[in-house]
Amino acid sequence: MTDTLEQTISCNEPATAVDVLALATGLSKSKVKSAMTAGAVWIQKGTKTVRLRRAKSMLQSGEQISIYYSDKILSDTPIAPTLIVDNKNYSVWNKPVGLMSSGTRFGDHCAINRVVQKMLDRPVFLVHRLDKFVKGVMVLAHSKRCAAVLSKQFQDRTIKKIYKAIVTGKLDSPVQITESLDGKDANTRIAAIDHDDRYTLLQVEILTGRKHQIRRHLAGIGLPILGDRQYSDSRFPQLQLASVSLAFYCPNTGERVTFHLPKEDHPRLSDLRVTPD
């Protein structure tokens, strides 16, 4: 048995999911149950493919289930986010580095939506994302209505998203970057807050939400983020990028609200223990 397994199984006769998977894959029932709990097993339900978590779910003849098993992924332990505010229909969190926004086909136990669902015992609907290596403020919806209201604000670009980043290089004056990404418009505003002889602390506002927008835009103008190994050759151990504030219209009251990352979690030049970059 390899450490990673991807397999789709057709059920020949009624049986429990754990029995079908254990027999077809050679995995022990305890490993199958762990994989199911972690969200690594999928089943077709109508037009949707959904995670199947209950080991004793009965499968009927002709049904198909898929398992995406990885010892490495299942051995990961999620890092708990910190609650900033709970407004019942939505909650705001400080997402730590290392916690994903959503899962993959190999599981969702290390994703904030699943972690918060278990913490609050409430449905969770993602309305935006933060990269696994980015920390900071993130809002989650707990009803379909609230998710629709927040999603429309993101689409209408009425939500204000402020980040801080430490970059290699110097910025002399504020800049607005409008280079398109993946064929879509992208808009980023940056301004210097502090600097030393090698690095600059930036305030960054994104008016659009393209994949890795801040990292790609800053690298594209010669100001790569410290710790960004994907778009630069930085060897600093951690990406110096954080979502420090999020402002939107409260789905409950309609009032404009702003939530901030605690100051101690902001990137700061004084905190750098610089390794060769």
Mean residue pLDDT across the chain: 95
Cα(128)–Cα(157) distance, rounded to whole angstroms?
12
How large is the average pLDDT for residues 4-32?
95
- CATH placement of domain 82-271: 3.30.2350.10
Write down the pTM of the prediction. 0.91
pLDDT score at 45: 85
pLDDT tens, position by position, 147-167: 999 999 999 999 999 999 999
Q: Which residues are paired to 241 by β-bridges? A: 165
Each residue of 47-61: pLDDT tens digit?
A: 899 999 999 999 999
pLDDT value, residue 238 = 93
Residue 53 pLDDT: 97
Mapped to the 3 state alphabet, what secondary structure does the chain carry? CCCEEEEEEECCCCEEHHHHHHHHHCCCHHHHHHHHHCCCEEEEECCEEEECCCCCCEECCCCEEEEEEEHHHHHCCCCCCEEEEECCCEEEEEECCCCECCCECCECCCEHHHHHHHHHCCCCEECCCCCCCCEEEEEEECCHHHHHHHHHHHHHCCCEEEEEEEEECCCCCCEEECCCECCECCCEEEEEEEECCCEEEEEEEECCCCCCHHHHHHHHCCCCECCCCCCCCCCCCCCCEEEEEEEEECCCCCCEEEEECCHHHCCCHHHCCCCCC
The set of catalytic residues is 131
Dihedrals phi, psi of 217, to nearest 5 degrees? -65, -45
Confidence at residue 2, expressed as pLDDT on a 0 to 100 scale = 61
Cβ neighbours for 14, distance < 8 A, ≥ 6 positions apart: 58, 59, 60, 61
Contact 204, 212 (CB under 8 A): no
Q: Are the beta carbons of 81 and 120 closer than 8 angstroms?
A: no
Q: Which CATH architecture has domain 4-74?
A: Roll (3.10)
- pLDDT class for 271, splitting at 50, 70, 90? confident
**Dihedrals φ, ψ of 21, to 5°?**
-70, -45
Residue 277: is its pLDDT beyond 60?
no
Reported as a single tens digit per residue, the pLDDT across 212-264 is 999 999 999 999 999 999 999 888 999 999 999 999 999 999 999 999 999 99
Q: Where are the domains of the chain?
A: 4-74, 82-271
Res. 1: pLDDT tops 60: no
Query: In this model, does residue 276 exceed pLDDT 60?
Result: no
Q: Categorize the per-residue pLDDT at 189 as very low, low, confident or very high, splitting at 50, 70 and 90.
A: very high
